[in-house]
Structure 1
Amino acid sequence: MTYADGKIAALTGAGSGIGRALALQLNREGCELFLSDISAASLNETLALLPRQDVPADGQVLDVADKTSVYAWAEKIAEVKGHVDIVINNAGVALISNVENNRYEDFEWLMGVNFWGVVYGTQAFLPLLRQSQQGHLVNISSVFGLFSAPTQSAYNAAKFAVRGYTEALRQEMDGSNVHVCCVHPGGIKTNIARAARSEDSDVNADERDTEFQKLAHTSPEKAAAQIIAAIEKHKKRLLIGMDARLFSLVCRLFPVRYPQILGLLTRNASTKLVT
């Protein structure tokens, strides 16, 4: 029997990437799922791919930047289940833009999903996690929540904010029944770079994706397996990928000079990519 067997999980951003891989593995392990994604087509595809159709799974089209909708989703689950055991705030988007050219509407869009979506998902579901014998809250930050890069000011701001928010919450939950984990993935082979908003009209989505995949060495399936293992082991912080561990070390050793060092390590490609 796996740790997730018989448990109930709520997961955002389940239509692709890490979210879909998490859904498939949790379902395989016997975990009842409440999945959400902003794309109905992607969400339905994930539901159709679930390997165990005997394990309950529900899908909800959801914009995590909409507080009312997130709370309504949590209330719906509370009415039918009374609690959840695992909450993973995974939904995320990307924006590639220099600070001088940042449009407020793009910045607000990114913060709405990447930061406020985490806040809404956390606070809406904490009461349900409190009702679990052992609750697990997992918030997905990024390796870009550990270091900053040009063209990533908005993404950095959101992911650093997720890190700070989650680490503060982790201390507040110390000694309670709710385990809190902040996850920092390195380069994961997802479509986030292809789907990013970008001010650079000279680079199209296919070119962005090609460059991103050169540095993305970890599959969504491997990332999902590590996240699920971190839940079982009650890890407080998870770095996914050798790149994340290396970047974290470099930033701690060289807090001022890390941009030059990381630029050499990645041949400056990191300035155009997101993780």
Structure 2
Amino acid sequence: MKSFNGKVAAITGAASGMGRTLALQLAKEGCHVSISDVDTKGLAETVKLVKATAPNVKVTSQQLDVSNREAMYAWADQTTKDHGKVNLIFNNAGVAYATPVEHIDYDKFEWIMGINFWGVVYGTKAFLPHLKASGEGHIINTSSLFGLCAQPTQSTYNATKFAVRGFTESLRQELDMMNCGVSATSVHPGGIKTAIARKSVASPEIEEFTGADSEQGKEFFEKFFITSAEKAADIILKAVKGNKRRVLVGPDAVAMDAMVRTLPETYQAIIVGQMKKMRDKQIARKKRKAAEKQTQSA
């Protein structure tokens, strides 16, 4: 797919972040868009921005929980009805949940798996027949840097993103064998400047491993969000045009991927060492603040 002009793209998680930016950049290239999200307010804003950016492009929207299989299939059918065809599905919606394995809440594990993994599966299967019917289609599934390497307190997130990677790589091989005009790409973003950290869920026990409470942890992670959503969308769309099997988004993703492939076992020890240093700094900082507060009160 060398051009998006005249094509139709469906995008989940389009109320903000990469999903919104993908919609805007596709619209600029003449691609009609069908967007969805659970956030109706953000979704309406994206529709407004798309219309302002590309008045001649058709945009439709749908409030959607991607973990709802029936709703995903209904949206795929409705998108085809509204636009006449579908060429691309960006399974982009995602959430984060941080906790040590010992303290995993099963309900929250099922919640994150439902969105991050099953949402991708449902989106792929619901749209695949429509993509094949279009004669020229592409499935873009968002994994993560954490679909390439593991991180303490991120076991549930890692599980979903490693699963997306495996699912998509197998899918791509099957599509290659079928030669049906449809392809697939696994996307691995590093730290992208979106609201995912702010919207993430963390257990109280997270402080035991990081030395910081959940809010401090979110602020810490955001420091590593170095790639803009616009840059990320540009990289992803170029990868689709180049029919790449996978795409690393951001210098951090490129660097970590290289380290994991070069040091498949040692990288874990390196991460643990860094995490321990950061935890010790947090604990020392808290002790200093407590001592200063005690001195002032005295």
Under a length normalisation based on structure 2, what TM-score does the superposition of the two structures give? 0.86
After alignment, is 189-198 or 75-84 more displaced?
75-84
2:104, 2:221 → 1: CA distance? 21
1:235 aligned partner: 244
2:196 is paired with a residue whose SS is coil
2:27 aligned partner: 27
Query: Deviation at 1:176?
Result: 2.6
Unaligned stretches of 5+ residues in structure 1:
271-275
User: Is residue 189 of structure 1 aligned with residue 198 of structure 2?
Assistant: no
1:204, 1:221 → 2: CA distance? 30
Unaligned stretches of 5+ residues in structure 2:
280-298
On the 8 A contact 1:143/1:186 being kept in 2, the answer is yes
After alignment, is 125-134 or 58-67 more displaced?
125-134
- After TM superposition, the structure 1 = structure 2 runs for residues 128-143 of structure 1, keeping only pairs within 5 Å, are 128-143=130-145
2:171 aligned partner: 169
After alignment, is 200-209 or 117-126 more displaced?
200-209
Query: Deviation at 1:261?
Result: 2.7
Kindly tell me the number of residue pairs found equivalent between the two proteins: 269
- After TM superposition, the structure 1 = structure 2 runs for residues 61-140 of structure 1, keeping only pairs within 5 Å, are 61-140=63-142
2:8, 2:272 → 1: CA distance? 42
After alignment, is 50-59 or 101-110 more displaced?
50-59
Query: Deviation at 1:242?
Result: 1.0
User: Is residue 211 of structure 1 aligned with residue 220 of structure 2?
Assistant: yes
CA displacement, residues 143-170 of structure 1 (integer Å, 9 cap, x when unaligned): 1001111110100000000000000000
CA displacement, residues 214-234 of structure 1 (integer Å, 9 cap, x when unaligned): 111100000001111111111
On the 8 A contact 1:194/1:205 being kept in 2, the answer is no
On the 8 A contact 1:82/1:131 being kept in 2, the answer is no
Counterpart residue type for residue 14 of structure 1: A
1:86, 1:218 → 2: CA distance? 24
Counterpart residue type for residue 252 of structure 2: D
Change (3 A) 1:75 1:197: same
Query: Deviation at 1:264?
Result: 6.1
1:179 aligned partner: 183
Q: As a proportion of its length, which structure holds more helix? A: 2
CA RMSD of aligned residues (A): 1.9
1:33 is paired with a residue whose SS is strand
1:250 is paired with a residue whose SS is helix
1:196, 1:269 → 2: CA distance? 20
1:88 is paired with a residue whose SS is strand
CA displacement, residues 57-90 of structure 1 (integer Å, 9 cap, x when unaligned): 0010000000010001011122334421111000
2:278, 2:36 → 1: CA distance? 32
1:248 to 254, 257, 281: 257
On the 8 A contact 2:203/2:214 being kept in 1, the answer is no
Identity percentage over the alignment? 46
Query: Deviation at 1:120?
Result: 0.2
User: Is residue 220 of structure 1 aligned with residue 224 of structure 2?
Assistant: no
Change (3 A) 1:264 1:54: farther
1:220, 1:79 → 2: CA distance? 30
On the 8 A contact 1:195/1:205 being kept in 2, the answer is no
Change (3 A) 1:244 1:268: farther
User: Is residue 52 of structure 1 aligned with residue 54 of structure 2?
Assistant: yes
On the 8 A contact 2:204/2:214 being kept in 1, the answer is no
1:192 is paired with a residue whose SS is coil
1:52, 1:268 → 2: CA distance? 49
Under a length normalisation based on structure 1, what TM-score does the superposition of the two structures give? 0.92
On the 8 A contact 1:93/1:196 being kept in 2, the answer is yes
2:278, 2:189 → 1: CA distance? 17
2:125 is paired with a residue whose SS is helix
On the 8 A contact 1:11/1:19 being kept in 2, the answer is yes
